[in-house]
């Protein structure tokens, strides 16, 4: 950096050193004159380094010789910034980082700044970088530095060319290659999941992955969603994702998760690579189902299957809850769903336990149980007909 040396005022440098505090009272220090090991000129005396710390050979040089080889700035010849051509992420260190929708000038400024070094002996360092866009993929970064070395102000300008090169980040490569680490299989006990359950399960997976992405997790993505005959499969990029999604699905829709690891292959280091299946088994019954628990007390409208099965007796309106041991799958048979209910005419309210309605199929008058959710002022009520007989169902069950 010849330019730098020219900017140094050597005389001023000398005077500055002349002003340094001289040590007194140390044997030998006062009498011995030191000379520059390169040019042989006398060198003004300066502070000795602390005992034990290595003395830099350059320290002994006179200012002229010292500045001849002096670089204030250590800059790379060029800087390459690798960006993903699909998602725009930037390769930094050994990982890919999302930088958002900025242009790459900021990224170039940052990369160059990180790559620049300033001489350790420089004090009062000030610096600035100024990008000059040459073309879409080339930026010339003008870097200005100033500082004080040996009491002498020095400055230096370097230009670092920055090349923006395009590649494919690991995430985009994996997505393109169909990579997945786990699969969440959504199935149901003794039936296939309903369209609503499948839709909701997929939504839960997508919402969770979106949250992870939002939080900066680049490893989180859904590889594929497959509708299969008995449910839906969601292939995901990590096992943590698979487990979390499966847990969220059962928390909301009920059921259980069983995990089966499958050895797929060995990686290049000989480690076994597993794919994990998160088998979600939704409960046999869902809210809206009408079941017969076979306990002689008549049909139950299922309200919830989270944890255990909860519902109401259609005969009385009383609450029904399966025991802890039975969980969400009591030994019961399905009679149908509330969607099979039909609106029918109330003929007369007989007493507090019975009401007469028209059978929606035969139009005969029938006396049936009057549950506590029955509205005595209603002209029509929804009724559900099954092999267990004719039962009034609550109006609110029809909306859900």
Both tokens assigned to 180 = 């997945």
Nearest to Zn ion of 49, 173 (CB atom): 173
Q: Please state the closest distance from residue 167 (CB atom) to Zn ion, in A.
A: 9
Least separation in angstroms between CB 270 and Zn ion? 29
CB of 38 to Zn ion, least distance (A): 5
Tokens of 74: 């250590």
With residue 380 as reference, give the H or E element that holds it.
strand 380-386
- Give the Cα separation of 331 and 34 in Å (integer): 101
- Alpha-carbon span 383 to 94, nearest angstrom: 66
Tokens describing residue 92: 């930094």
Cβ proximity to Zn ion: between 10 and 12 the closer is 10
As a three-state string, the secondary structure of 278-293 is EEEEECCCCCCEEEEC
Residue closer to Zn ion (CB basis): 35 or 47: 35
Specify the residue, 41 or 262, whose C-beta has the smaller distance to Zn ion.
Answer: 41
Q: How far is the CB of 63 from Zn ion (least distance, A)?
A: 8
Q: What is the dihedral of CA 116, 121, 124, 130, to 10 degrees?
A: -20
By residue count, the chain amounts to: 400
Q: Which is nearer to Zn ion, 173 or 307 (CB)?
A: 173
Q: How far is the CB of 14 from Zn ion (least distance, A)?
A: 12
- Whichever of 55 and 353 has its CB closer to Zn ion, that residue is 55
Residue with smaller CB distance to Zn ion, 178 or 400: 178
Residues binding Zn ion (CB under 5 A): 36, 38-39, 62, 65, 84, 86-87, 89, 169, 172
Closest CA to 369 of 320, 322, 289, 313: 313
CA–CA gap between residue 85 and residue 102 (Å, rounded)? 14
What's the closest the beta carbon of residue 97 comes to Zn ion, in angstroms? 11
97 versus 347: smaller Cβ distance to Zn ion: 97
Residue 32 Cβ vs Zn ion, minimum distance, rounded to whole Å: 17
Closest distance to Zn ion from the beta carbon of 219 (Å): 12
Q: Which of 343, 346, 342, 345 is nearest to 376 (CA)?
A: 346
Q: In this complex, which beta carbon is closest to Zn ion, that of residue 175 or of residue 276?
A: 175
The DSSP secondary-structure symbol of 20 reads: S
Three-state DSSP state, 220:
coil
DSSP 117-148: EE-TT-EEEEEEEEEEEEETTEEEEEEEEEEE
Q: Which residues pair with residue 135 across a beta bridge?
A: 138
For 52-63, give the secondary structure using H, E and C.
CCCCCHHHHCCH
Give least dist CB 102 to Zn ion, A.
16
Q: What is the DSSP letter of 48?
A: P
């Amino acid at each position: 950096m010849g330019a730098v040396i020219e900017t140094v005022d050597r005389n001023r440098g000398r005077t500055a050193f002349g002003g340094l505090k001289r040590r007194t009272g140390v044997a030998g220090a006062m009498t011995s004159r030191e000379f520059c090991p390169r040019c042989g000129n006398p060198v003004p005396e300066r502070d000795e380094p602390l005992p034990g710390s290595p003395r830099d050979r350059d320290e002994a040089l006179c200012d002229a010789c010292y500045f001849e080889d002096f670089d204030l700035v250590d800059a790379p010849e060029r800087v390459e910034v690798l960006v993903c051509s699909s998602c725009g992420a930037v390769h930094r260190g050994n990982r890919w980082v999302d930088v958002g929708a900025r242009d790459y000038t900021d990224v170039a400024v940052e990369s160059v700044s990180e790559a620049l070094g300033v001489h350790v002996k420089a004090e009062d360092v000030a610096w600035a970088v100024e990008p000059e866009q040459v073309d879409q993929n080339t930026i010339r970064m003008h870097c200005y530095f100033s500082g004080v070395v040996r009491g002498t102000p020095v400055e230096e300008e370097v230009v670092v060319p920055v090349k923006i090169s395009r590649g494919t980040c690991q995430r985009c490569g994996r997505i393109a290659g169909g990579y997945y680490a786990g699969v969440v299989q959504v199935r149901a006990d003794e039936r296939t999941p309903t369209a609503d359950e499948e839709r909701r399960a997929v939504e839960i997976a997508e919402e969770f992955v979106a949250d992870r992405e939002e939080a900066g997790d680049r490893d989180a993505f859904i590889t594929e969603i497959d509708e299969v005959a008995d449910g839906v499969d969601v292939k995901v990029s990590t096992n943590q994702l698979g487990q979390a999604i499966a847990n969220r699905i059962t928390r909301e829709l009920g059921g259980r998760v069983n995990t089966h690891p499958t050895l797929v292959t060995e990686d290049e280091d000989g480690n076994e690579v597993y794919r994990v299946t998160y088998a979600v088994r939704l409960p046999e019954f869902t809210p809206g189902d009408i079941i017969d628990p076979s306990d002689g007390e008549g049909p139950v409208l299922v309200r919830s299957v989270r944890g255990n099965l909860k519902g109401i007796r259609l005969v009385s309106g009383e609450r029904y809850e399966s025991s802890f041991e039975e969980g969400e799958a009591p030994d019961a048979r399905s009679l149908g769903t509330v969607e099979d209910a039909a609106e029918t005419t109330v003929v007369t309210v007989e007493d507090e336990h019975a009401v007469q309605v028209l059978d929606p199929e035969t139009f005969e008058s029938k006396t049936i149980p009057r549950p506590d959710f029955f509205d005595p002022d209603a002209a029509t009520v929804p009724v559900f007909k099954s092999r267990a007989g004719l039962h009034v169902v609550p109006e609110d069950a029809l909306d859900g």
